[in-house]
Amino acid sequence: MSDILEVKNLSFGYKKDSLLFDDFFITLKKGEIKAIVGASGAGKSTLFELILKNLKPFSGSIKSSFSSEVFQDPYSSFHPSYTLINQIKDVASIDELESYLKIINLDYDLLLKLPHELSGGQLQRASILRAMLMKPDLLLLDEPTSALDNVIQLEVMSMLMKHLGSMGMLLITHDLELAKWCADEIIMI
């Protein structure tokens, strides 16, 4: 099975003399979850920005298949003046919407609202919903469950893991126990 993510010999830093990554390497295949764990400021979110080509590495290469992402702050990932359902329809098919709504414990009526009308946990579940409905090969998850209570966190991660046959996941988390529970490999940075 071919890699859906291949990062080779990556070097990057915000200053040339202070590298966050020096000859960094990671690969990911469909069916795998790898967790990136590290202290604040270690470069976890920067790695996602590099994968998404929002930042340019000093050297090395990054190849990735079609991806969608779930960011830590759900309020920054939705436009404030459009309903959630319209923002989901803009990027994804809603054929499987009903089944996903049940799994992530979200009412359809909430999708008819504007982002600021939802709680952080509700909006994060909507963000996960949108990312899943996009049917990515690679799902980038930046602290995707930090705004959710423990029961919903477990349900959402279990739901995500059920879709591993069709995608691979790269998870950023501060929760080492969560990483140990769900990841095939934990990468400390």
Nearest to 27 by CA among 78, 62, 68, 74: 62
Helix-helix angle 150-162:120-133, to 10 degrees: 0
The number of domains in the chain is: 1
| Contact (Cβ atoms closer than 8 angstroms) between residue 124 and residue 71 | no
Mean confidence (pLDDT) of the chain: 90
Poorest-pLDDT segment among 92-96, 106-110, 164-168, 179-183: 164-168
| Contact (Cβ atoms closer than 8 angstroms) between residue 44 and residue 189 | yes
Can you tell me the mean pLDDT for 49-60? 95
User: Which residues on neighbouring strands pair with residue 41, listed in sequence order?
Assistant: none
Residue 147 is part of a domain; what is its CATH number?
3.40.50.300
Helix-helix angle 84-91:120-133, to 10 degrees: 20
Question: For residue 1, what pLDDT band results from cuts at 50, 70 and 90?
Answer: low
In the predicted structure, residue 7 carries a pLDDT above the cut 80: yes
Annotate 57-71 with b (16+ C-beta within 10 A) or e (fewer). beebebebbebbbbb
β-strands 185-188, 21-29 pairing = unpaired
pLDDT of residue 103: 76
pLDDT of residue 47: 94
β-strands 33-37, 168-172 pairing = parallel
For 14-43, write each residue's pLDDT tens digit. 988 889 999 999 999 999 999 999 888 889
Amino acid at 58: F
pLDDT of residue 24: 96
For 55-107, write each residue's pLDDT tens digit. 999 999 999 999 999 988 888 889 999 999 999 999 999 998 998 888 777 89
Which residue range(s) make up the domain with 139? 3-188
In the predicted structure, residue 44 carries a pLDDT above the cut 80: yes
- The residue ranking higher by pLDDT, 117 or 147, is 117
Which range among 16-20, 109-113, 155-159 has the greatest average pLDDT?
109-113
